[in-house]
Amino acid sequence: MFPPQTFQLHLLTNLYNKHTIRAVDLNSVKKAVTQSLWSVCAECLKERTPFEGEPSGDVLICLRCGFQGCNQSEAQHSTKHQLAQHPESHCISISLSSWKAWCLECNEELSTHCNKKVLAQTLDFLQKHSVKAASATSSKVIRLREEPEDSADALRGRGPAISTLIPVKGINNLGNTCFFNAVMQNLSQTHLLNELIAEVKEKGHKLKICPSPETNLGPLTITLPSPEPLTSAMFLFLHSMKEAGKGPVSPKVVFNQLCHKAPRFKGYQQQDSQELLHYLLDSMRMEETKRIKAGILKAFNNPTEKTADEETKRQVKAYGKEGVKMNFVDRIFVGELTNTIMCEECAHISTVKEAFIDISLPIIEERVRQKGERTVRSRLFEFAGPSSDDVACSSRPPGGAVATTAAHKSRQAGAVEQLVSTVSRMGLSHTSGERIPAGVCCEEQGDTARQPQGAFQALSHSYMPCSKECSVQSCLHQFTSVELLMGNNKLLCENCTERRQKQLKRSTADKRAEKVYTSARKQMLISALPPVVILHLKRFHQAGMNLRKVNRHVDFPLILDLAPFCSASCKNMVAGEHVLYILYGIVEHSGSMRGGHYAAYVRIRAPQRRPEQRRNMSGPKECSTAMPGQWVYVSDTSVQVVPESRVLSAQAYLLFYEELL
């Protein structure tokens, strides 16, 4: 529901509408809604053969008679009803998804806080009825029988009936917490999260740690202590979402636990769903990391810095390095990006790896890529020089290339802090004493460094977007495209600088070589994929002193092939095969920066095989056009089945994809 602040502008211009007196009848609305299906277009019910009714896109309710009609571009049953001949005016309606009131005759939005109390009273009644309807149906929601177009039996209404029990419950809004509810709906439908958190919820859970072969250590089985408060609250919430019984579910316990970890969410102010997701997952990751470390220390009889000998310290460190990566957050959501940069003068190649919990994609607007969006990623290349052991490898091959810009010559001292900040924005905060999974800043000099021609090679042929295309694939294409570093963005190449220094030493011992800046190429590619990939469409960005929202629709596929955006050396992948992920959840943001609303679309489907059963099939996988499962729209406590077409028209903010096994 939109907060009252949404309507402040209307209070100045639309305090009074001349049609309110004769176009709003609260008693008629009350009578109508109690005698009909809630949030279902009455005309769609008549025109099609329903099993138990059908939700029809965005439904508007007439405030004169209580007629519920869809606002779809094809049918427009709500508009047709308002334009039909009536003895009285039926020009005012309210959207049951956004709760906005609209006068058709005036062609303007109305303030529900105007001096006509009947409008505000009607809105209040409808909102309360919406909560009651969701509670009464609990997990039972409306569903239409499947009707294949080429089936005569289906057209005559003799198709097979499908069960209407959908395991989705609404979530109570605690006060401007729709940003939280939308994320929680998607997490509740993340099957692997439900499975792994159930495994580790109990005290005494056993965890087997296998360190890397070079440590010459065998496996270690540890016993984990009790889970921390946020993880425990999360498990109870997920369990209650699956439990049979009344809905909706209250998220108060888990939300309060999160507020203890991140006080910024206290106060019940509207917040950002992506930031919420980061804080929630990272906080649980920190709790589980702490728990695993405690289990390792207990296995060694809790040694201290004073009592432990060097061999014990080595073993604890080795097991801890592998053990912390076994927390359920890393196993589900954390992947790896690799930045590759090559000097055009000496062809030296260096790489920087970083963990991600989601991938933030700038939305391609009508004009060419914005300069500011490019520089966010190019900052990462300033930090290939020596840095703290907390975030960088302890050893570095001599003569490596360091990426920086001529305008940033004096900023090397802050390299570590800026890198950590950048990694945090990519989705995983680095905390003291904890290791970022997969290595955050680590130069590699492997096969890629010895083969410049293959430095920028993807797992499959590049995706080529069409002209003016705005899709997830085109955004990923922009994100992973090769860029030239020229002008003020030239590369500070240590290799070229070292060569220049040697030349000067041979000619004179008094002169010292200046740093050499060269043109270079750089590219970001995915080098490790998690079982669940979350894509963040950057709809909000700074425009001068204000935040601006990009409302452009972004097309997204139900099945996404990530192979064109993965490096040729991507872990557990084979060149030439498809890397398929299937969409199962969306967080949608509607409205403006002043007053918006977050809602969720989730796909109810059967769980897939465990992610440990990795893809071993050679050759491309077949893309099935038949999408199993049923899409459900959830707005706080309101739950309804929706057609796939409505899902594809959503203004997506976060997209949840799971590996197609």
Residues assigned a catalytic role: 178, 597
The closest alpha carbon to 271, from 284, 283, 282, 259, belongs to: 259
Q: What is the secondary structure of 107-152 as a DSSP string?
A: TEEE-TTSS-HHHHHHHHHHHHHHHHHHHHHTTB---PPP--TT-H
The closest alpha carbon to 133, from 660, 622, 635, belongs to: 635
Query: Tokens 């500011």 appear where?
Result: 372
Rounded Cα distance between 651 and 258, Å, is 27
Rounded Cα distance between 220 and 217, Å, is 9
Rounded Cα distance between 42 and 61, Å, is 10
Contact 191, 610 (CB under 8 A): no
Rounded Cα distance between 575 and 567, Å, is 9
Name the 3-class secondary structure at 559: strand
Residue 248 preceded by cis peptide, ω within 30: yes
Contact 624, 580 (CB under 8 A): no
Give whole-number Cα distances, 395 to 392, 413, 441, 442, 443, in Å.
Answer: 9, 19, 12, 9, 9
Alpha helices in 268-404 (DSSP H): 273-299, 310-323, 328-333, 371-378
Measured CA angle at 631 (ends 636, 654), to 5 deg: 65
**Torsion angles phi and psi, residue 389, rounded to 5:** -65, -15
